[in-house]
């Protein structure tokens, strides 16, 4: 069965519930982020993707997560400030989540996408199609500027 996030509700950084269905018609790149991780520099690449493909309908969504090595210990305001001041990140940063074990959305749904199971580390990426279906899952080591990810994004945008 296909995994779809259209009926998933998440919390914004202001604590408000938001349906991922509100993004219907856009391609989403959902990423669990952390400010003190070896992959933190990927924020720059994520912002570059947002800048390059945003006008075509890509929305990068960041979900801070402290599950891995306690690498995201700050408050949501500290996280947003860090992202903006260090990486000029303008894409939405949502409320902190759990991506493994006792998960919170969107990961309760996303972790059922093959290969099934919990996110393994910070900066794992899920590509969501315009209809809300999960198209692909990319491990942390797949850089935002990799051909593998950019080709998948372009294909999703062209669909």
Where in the sequence numbering do the catalytic residues fall? 37
Confirm if 101 and 68 have CB atoms less than 8 A apart. Answer: no
CA 122 to each of CA 91, 111, 129: distance values in angstroms, whole numbers, following the listed order: 17, 14, 22
Nearest residue to 20 (alpha-carbon basis) of 138, 159, 133, 122: 133
Q: Which two tokens stand for residue 67?
A: 């599950």
Confirm if 50 and 62 have CB atoms less than 8 A apart. Answer: no
Alpha-carbon distance of 103 to 120, in angstroms, equals 12
Alpha-carbon distance of 49 to 87, in angstroms, equals 13
């Amino acid at each position: 069965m296909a995994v779809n996030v259209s009926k998933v509700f998440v919390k914004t950084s202001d604590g408000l519930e938001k349906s991922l269905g509100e993004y219907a018609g856009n391609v989403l790149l959902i990423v669990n982020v952390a400010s003190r991780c070896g992959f933190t520099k990927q924020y720059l690449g994520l912002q570059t993707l947002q800048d390059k493909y945003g006008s075509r309908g890509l929305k990068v969504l960041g979900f801070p997560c402290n599950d891995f090595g306690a690498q995201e210990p700050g408050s949501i305001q500290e996280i947003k400030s860090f992202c903006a001041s260090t990486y000029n990140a303008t894409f939405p940063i949502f409320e902190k989540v759990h991506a493994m074990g006792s998960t919170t959305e969107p990961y309760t749904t996303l972790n059922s996408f093959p290969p099934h199971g919990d996110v393994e580390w910070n900066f794992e990426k899920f590509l969501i199609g315009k209809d809300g279906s999960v198209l692909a899952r990319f491990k942390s080591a797949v850089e935002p500027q990799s051909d593998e990810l950019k080709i998948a994004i372009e294909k999703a945008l062209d669909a």
